[in-house]
Amino acid sequence: MRIVIAFALAGILLSLGSALVYLIRDKGRTNRTVNALTVRVGISVALFLFILFSYWMGWIEPRRFGS
């Protein structure tokens, strides 16, 4: 489970970094920045839904602190 989440977070960071590079290189003349940010949002939503599904299936459980 941790590996899947780590890969998703790495994908989010790579997409964010590529959007920054496209923003600097293209200076807003192309849609590559928007496309990279769209991919980042898509991966983020997919990760959130995967975590909710994992909790519903019982694959992950919340930690209880202070008990």
66 is a domain residue: no
Q: Report the distance separating Cα 59 and Cα 57, nearest Å.
A: 6
Q: How many domains does the chain have?
A: 1
27 is a domain residue: yes
pLDDT bracket for residue 63 (50, 70, 90):
confident
33 and 19 Cβ atoms separated by less than 8 Å: yes
pLDDT bracket for residue 67 (50, 70, 90):
low
6 is a domain residue: yes
Q: Which residue has the higher pLDDT, 39 or 63?
A: 39
Q: Report the distance separating Cα 67 and Cα 61, nearest Å.
A: 15
| pTM of the predicted structure, to 2 decimals | 0.81
Q: Report the distance separating Cα 47 and Cα 55, nearest Å.
A: 12
63 is a domain residue: no
pLDDT bracket for residue 45 (50, 70, 90):
very high
Residue-level pLDDT at 29: 86
**Residue 26 clears pLDDT 80, i.e. is over it:** yes
